[in-house]
Structures are given as structure tokens and as C-alpha cells.
Structure 1
Amino acid sequence: MCDIIGSLPLELLDQIVKYLDLEDIVRSQRVSKRWRAILSCDTIIRPLLRETLTFLGLDLEGVSTDVALADAMSYFQWRHNLQYARPIKKIFLPWPASFTSLPAKIQCRSRRLCCNMPKGGRAGMLNLETGEKSTWALSGKLTQIVDFLKLSDRYLVTGSLGLWGLHDMAAYDLHTKQKICQRIPPVGFLEAIVEDKVVFIASAGSQSRPLHVWDLSLNHMQKIGYFSNLVLYHVAATEKILVAFEINWEKRPPEMQQTKWKTTTGQQVAKGTFHLPELADHHNDGFKWRFDRCRTFGHKTVNHIFLPTDRYDTVRLEYDYAVGQLSAQRIRSVDPLYKGSLTICLAPNVICFWTWRSDHIAIYNATTGTVNLPAIQMRRGLSSWIRNKLQRRDGPRRFWDVFGDREVLGLADESGIELWFFSPRFVPDPQVLKRLKQNMAHI
């Protein structure tokens, strides 16, 4: 058989390859040695790798395009698996039989799985790389309940809920095991961890609400202004700057106000207003809108505004601190399944929509504007009290929490946790998987 494509000049092949997407290029490399050699040259691989690292947000962490071909192919497969919701491996970890209630919060970041313990002021953690377990106490009083839990690449922050908000806080440095404690006044709910800065935000019911930033390097809590209709904030930890965006729905079109604050003193240093075309046809006629939690990737922060339209639209906001620009992208949905859904940003351009009303999630690719609906089949590994509870409840069994990052997506229901692994650079081997199951049973 004559290989017409393989016989073309490289200059012409470069122009043809530009019309192929990542999946086509990876598949075409399997045709023949000639095709693999052509599609593996630097003029094709390097631009594609740069685009892939940006898609995964790894460019924000300093990952270079100067890598071997095998490494580049692993990044391509990682991106392909994530954007099409096709995990390399799925593992299921049933809840321990000793659990008398389900954890209130679960986190999975940087290859660590963490949840609060049903009894006592403790949090249990599993290292997904080694399978080892560890326990982290909130304070000396084990009668306290861990109501809030956040996990970042370096810190684990837990808190107990008092009458009006957070009171007892504990932050652990996962590298040095150092514990930092704060007994703080009611400042709101634990919102995010950005490097060594912990952000608290007041109840959404407040008309005008402040932000508080806990600087773990100084063990100092700072109040930052008062905000109405806050839709996005970005913390530049190194520069000790917080940038906030509020929206005024009374204006037509809605007006966005940007302010900049010092996290060390709470002083406002800049202010400005502008309009977003994506919100031009919306105004406040008594409708309810809400926004999800911000997620920061390096110098970029992503968030979402949910609009109560007939199509249940969402507006994706992205702020790039490096260039000082806020951009918006309209996500139009015609499926009422995702009305009132929540989102998790697995990567800067990958969004997971989920709703507790059904066993469905949706993976949205912001670069192409496409949505994939993966199948979910949670397995039953139930303790006796959960099994009795399920038998008494009418209707289908539903999962109640979704969490994770660009490497691992976690789904939790009454039976346990299912973990989806997307990156070929990180998949637990059978020995690690065995330790994970053993330690999960005794966490």
C-alpha cells in the first residue's frame, strides 16, 4: 500500500498537522514508524506540549517544554484522559465498618486523601503514593468536631464551628509537621488556602461581608474590607496582595468593580470599574444568583457565576494576576439536570459540574466549549448501619460529594469513595492499592 501522507515533504506535513487535534495526532502515531517519526518532530511536538501544559495548568508551576518525547506523550495522554473523562484506573475504598456517620468533608490534593473523623476532633489522611495513613488532631480536646477542612499542596487546615462561625483553628505544615493554632472570633467560613494564606469569607446571607486572611507564616489574622456581591478574589501570596471583584446588578449592563488590598494591613491600594459583555443581558429583577468557590492556579484564579436562565447558564470567570485582566466565558446548558449544580475546577480549563440530585457529573472543557458525561457506577461496600439506612430510604442511591484535582477525581457516596486516576505519571501499583484498602479500613 502506498503511504501518500508519509511521502509528503515535512513542510507540507506541518501545515496538515495543524488541523489535527491532540487525539488525532496520538492515534496517527500508531499507523507506522514513518508516521510516528513525522509526528514526533520538535516543530509539531513542542507547540502541542506547550498548549497541553497550559491546559493542565502546569505552565503556571514552571514545567518546561524541554522534556523527552516519552514525557511529552505522557502529558498528552493525561490531557486526553482528563478532557474526555476517561480515567486510566478506578479504585474503590469502602468506608470503615467503625464509622457511625459519614465524614462532613473530604479533600484530595497533591496525591493525598483526607477526611474528618466522625468521632473526635481529628482528621485522617491517606498518602495515595505510598498507601500510608496518618491522623491529625484539631486540638487537645478530642470531643470537638471537625466542621471545616481544607487541604493544599503544603497545608492542612481544620476548624471547629462555634455558635456564629469558626473559633478553634489548626493548620499543619505537611512537610515539617509544624502545628499553627488560632482561636479566632466569628469571621466566617473556611474558603481557600493559597500558599501560606488562608481565606475566610462571611456567610452568604450577609449584605456586606468582609474577607479575612490568616497569614500562616506570621500567624496573623487580617480583616480585608467589606464586599457586596463578591464574585471572585485572587490572593497573590508572595506580593501579599488581594484582588477582589464585586458586581453591581442594579446597573444596566451590570457593572464590575475591582479593588486591590494589602493582606498585611487591610489597606485598599487601587479601585476601578468596568463591564463584562457576557453579563450584559442580565440585571437584578429579584432573581437569585450565586457563585462557587474560587480556585487558584499560580497567578490565575477561576470561579463561576450561576444564572437562573431558562438554559441554566453559567459564566466562567478567570483572573490573570500577571497581566491584571479578568475574562469571562459563557457556558450555555440546555440540560435541567445541572440546575443548581456545583463545580470543581480540576485544572484551569477543566470544570467538573455535579449535582446531589442524581448520579451524574459533567466534565466541561473550557478551551473547546464541549461537555462530556462519563458513566458512574459506584460499588456497594456498606457497613450494616448504612445498609439499613439505604433500605429505609426511597428513590435511587446518590453520591453526595465530588472532590479532587487534575490528577485524581474523587466521588463519595454512602458506600465509600471511588477515585479516578487520569495521569499516566501517577497510578498506584497493586501493593500501594492493597495498603490503601487496609489503612482505609482502620483509619
Structure 2
Amino acid sequence: MEENRGNGRVAGQTQSDIVCSLPLELLFEVVEYLDVADIVRSQRVSKRWRTMFLGDVITRSVLPRTLAALGLDAENIATSEAITYFRWLHGLKSARPVKKAFLPRSQLGGKIEQIVYHSRRLCYIIAEGDGNQVVMLDLDTGRRSLWVNDARSYLREIVLSDRYLVMISWARPNWVLLVWDIHTSQRLAERRFLWVPSRVTVEKDKAIIIPSPESRSYPIYIWDLCTDRFQKIGSFSNLELSFVDVEEDVLMTFEIDWDKHLPEVRQTKWSLTRGEQLDWKRYHLSMGSRHVDRTTLKQSHNDWYRPSGYKTVTALYTFANDPYSAIRLTYDHAVDRLDLRWISCTKPINDFAVPGRCDSLAPHIIYRYAVQHRGIVVYDAISGVATVHPYHLHAGEVVTRRLFGAHLPVPGRQAPMTEFMPFYTHWSFGDREVFGVATRDGIQLWFFNPNFVPDFPGAEPFLAMEESG
């Protein structure tokens, strides 16, 4: 072997190895056409190839692209850790988790009414009894916490953030919001409304509350959870997306008029603390050859708002011609840009997917629950390719196994929603690290981050997908 450092070629090459003999500039060009799966396989060819793909080629080309696909910041990540992120992204794209676990219903405390996941914390409502109990499981520590809704009202929904748990309940004639500090277990604040809180999100110490659009115009309410200050901002119609940056004191709102040939966007910038309008502009969204009837749009409840760094994502579903297509809106605050993308799985997958069960695990990777395929559809929004991967049942998923064996909607026809109703008891959730499916039997958890494969009390071992066939 020879070392040839002076001509820009990879060290340790032989003349018979054509790839290693290429100048680095050409290697960079070649690697740009490779997928993460190709990179992982290439490292298995030989020691020279592994050295090559973990050297400058990775640092300058593949690793930044991989981190961007995962929605991660490239700063403070060593090149030596590149293979970890390749495995991570490859696992997400191919539905091959590093580890799987199953939480049986007996460990959950009862039937699940709603489930949310945020920053390695799993939080769900227990439907049995008075329905006023919330259980939180910290996947990092295995610690379980029990929270009780003491507002003497029926608990309808929960919202989870890094610090706060918000309980949304109904006590005739009021809607009640209770806020808890999840670190100290203290009840912090309570608010009652005569109107329905349609969307509630929390950014740092600010709760953003959007009423149900029962009238032509409605405001956004900002609730400062530290000072208990409550203020109203603006008056909106057709509000589809909002973005909050607490550090910059910015609220960005996006109203879209879908009736125009090219949907017209009114983007308005507000002061989050003062409620003043700072700036606004109008522009059009490109829809290609498609057209949307505004009356058929419905917002996805479990994915309407998904922050990813300086980006905020929402998903809208159209129930007109294609009930399983989604419109994905992404606002990137770093470049002040709103993008629209159609998420439309190719047939026959569309015929077999449960409407509304859509989870964005990474900026461009979407998971959907496909009933007749008994599997998970993984959709790559960049390539537009959708693939189905089997949903392997744990031995404890008895009810789910019976449902999978029951009569399912016939392929090739538009099935009535009643045929899908048994599967609406299934909740899916997740992010780039964890994907989960909650059924009547329990919760399956899929772990994709090689550096996050926790063991916690009550979880039963489950073979990873590549090991289980």
C-alpha cells in the first residue's frame, strides 16, 4: 500500500480500487447521489472504504445532510459519531428501530383516552373511572407520576411542554385550563372560558390559546404562566399556522385564503408581550396543478403544530377528492419562508391508511398507520416515495391481533368511516428518537437513536424489527 497525501487522494489506496483513487472533489460529487442506506452499506466493503466514508467525505458532505434530515444542529457533533447518525436516519427511513419495547395495559393503569409525547416524556389520560387522571412516564429515568384533575370537570385533552402540563377540561358552562409544573408537581394557574379552546400550545413560559372559529374572526390569547398575565392579540380568519419565538418576543401568524386560484397568505408579525402589530405582508403559495376547496379542509389534531428548531409545521387534510392526502405547511423563521408540500402516498397505500393518523418524526419523514397492510407507511417527503413496513404484534396484543384478523375494508373502493372506527382507538405519536403506537392492549415503543435505548420498569422486551423478520 502507498500513502498519497499530496494529490488529494484517499490515504491507503491501491491502484485496483477505482473509487479510492478518485480525487476527493469527485468523491464529494459521487456521495451527493448516495442515500444514507448506501453510505452504511459502503462502510462494510473494506477497511479502506470505512476510513474513506468516515473521513473528509463525511465531514464535508454526508454528515451535514444527515443531521439536517434529522432536524439536528451540526454544531458540536464530532465526525467520529457520524456512523451513529447514519444508523439513526437509516432506521427512521426503513422503520428499523434499534430497540423495541412493549408496555402492557396492566402497567398503564387502564384504558388510554389520549396520549402525547414530548422530550422523552410520555403522558396519557386514563379513561376508566372519572377520567380525571393523567399518568406521566419519563423514559429517561423510568419515573412515573400521577396527576389528578381537581377542577371537578371532565378532562378532554392534555398539552405537554418541557416544563408544563396543561389539562383542558369541560365543566358546564366553562372550559377549564389547569397548568402544572412537571418538575415540582405544583399547580400553578387556572383559567376558565365560555368559549372552546381549539388549539393550545406552550412555548417556554407562554401558553398560546386559539379559540374555536365559531365566528368569522377570532383573536389569539397569550397567557404568561409566570406572571399569570392574559392578553388578546389581533383578530383573525382562516388562521392556519402560527410561530412563536419567546426570546425575540415575536408571534408570527399566517392566514390563508384558499378560495383564490393561488392561495393568498397574509403573514403578520406581532410583539408577543405588547400585542402590537409590527409588520405584515401578502403573497401567494404555489399549488402546482391542484386546487383546494376550503370547506373540505380539516386540521390534523395530532400534528397541527410541530416545532423543529426555527421551523414550525402544520398538517391539513382535504376530504374532497382524496381523503388521505395532506397539505404540509412549514415556516422557517431563520429565512422567513413559508413552504407548502403535498403529502400524498401512492395508491394502493392511500386506500388502506387510517385518515388523521399521521406523525412527522423528522422534518421530511412521515409515518402513517395502514390498516389493510397491517403495517406502517413511511413517507419521504423529499423523494415522494412511500413504503409499507410490517407492524409486528407483541404476544400481549391480543385485541389488536383479533382486529387485524377481522374483516377489513375491501381494497380499491372508498370505505365508509364506520369500517375504520375500531382503529380510531389506536394512537400514534413520536419524534425523531421514538415512535409509538398505543392500542387497547398497551403501547409499542420503537427507539431509533442508538444513544437512547432506555430500560424502564414495566416494559417487556420486544425483538427489533430486523430481528423479528
Q: TM exceeds 0.5?
A: yes
Q: In structure 1, what is the Cα distance between the partners aligned to 2:446 and 2:65?
A: 24
What is the aligned partner in structure 2 of residue 40 from structure 1? Answer: 54
What is the aligned partner in structure 2 of residue 305 from structure 1? Answer: 316
Please give the secondary structure, in 1, of the residue aligned with 2:256: strand
Distance of aligned partners of 1:9 and 1:402 in 2 relative to their CA distance in 1, 3 Å threshold: same
What is the aligned partner in structure 1 of residue 258 from structure 2? Answer: 249
Residue 337 (structure 1) aligned with residue 355 (structure 2): no
What is the aligned partner in structure 1 of residue 446 from structure 2? Answer: 420
Residue 218 (structure 1) aligned with residue 227 (structure 2): yes
Shift of 1:8: 4.1
Give the RMSD, CA atoms, in angstroms. 3.1
Residue 402 (structure 1) aligned with residue 428 (structure 2): yes
Contact 1:402 1:412 in 2 (8 A): yes
Contact 1:211 1:223 in 2 (8 A): yes
Shift of 1:26: 1.4
The residue type equivalent to 1:410 in the other structure is G
Size of the aligned set, in residue pairs, is 421
Q: In structure 1, what is the Cα distance between the partners aligned to 2:288 and 2:24?
A: 46
What is the aligned partner in structure 1 of residue 275 from structure 2? Answer: 266
Shift of 1:92: 1.0
What is the aligned partner in structure 2 of residue 182 from structure 1? Answer: 190
Please give the secondary structure, in 2, of the residue aligned with 1:250: coil
Q: In structure 1, what is the Cα distance between the partners aligned to 2:368 and 2:337?
A: 25
Alignment of structure 1 residues 225-240 onto 2, 5 Å: 225-240=234-249
Contact 2:374 2:391 in 1 (8 A): yes
Deviation string, structure 1 residues 162-183 (Cα, Å, up to 9, x no partner):
3366314123243x54431122
Give unpaired runs (5+ residues) of structure 2: 1-13, 409-421, 462-469
Shift of 1:411: 0.4
Residue 363 (structure 1) aligned with residue 378 (structure 2): yes
Residue 170 (structure 1) aligned with residue 179 (structure 2): yes
Distance of aligned partners of 1:161 and 1:378 in 2 relative to their CA distance in 1, 3 Å threshold: farther
Contact 1:93 1:437 in 2 (8 A): yes
Residue 146 (structure 1) aligned with residue 152 (structure 2): no
Distance of aligned partners of 1:99 and 1:171 in 2 relative to their CA distance in 1, 3 Å threshold: closer
Give unpaired runs (5+ residues) of structure 1: 439-443
Alignment of structure 1 residues 350-389 onto 2, 5 Å: 350-354=365-369, 359-379=374-394, 381=396
Q: In structure 2, what is the Cα distance between the partners aligned to 1:251 and 1:190?
A: 26
Q: In structure 2, what is the Cα distance between the partners aligned to 1:356 and 1:229?
A: 32
Distance of aligned partners of 1:66 and 1:425 in 2 relative to their CA distance in 1, 3 Å threshold: closer
Shift of 1:276: 0.6
Corresponding residue to 2:115 among 106, 109, 124 = 106
Alignment of structure 1 residues 266-285 onto 2, 5 Å: 266-278=275-287, 281-282=290-291, 284=293
What is the aligned partner in structure 1 of residue 416 from structure 2? Answer: none
Residue 93 (structure 1) aligned with residue 97 (structure 2): no
Residue 51 (structure 1) aligned with residue 65 (structure 2): yes
Distance of aligned partners of 1:360 and 1:145 in 2 relative to their CA distance in 1, 3 Å threshold: farther
Please give the secondary structure, in 2, of the residue aligned with 1:323: coil
Distance of aligned partners of 1:242 and 1:414 in 2 relative to their CA distance in 1, 3 Å threshold: same
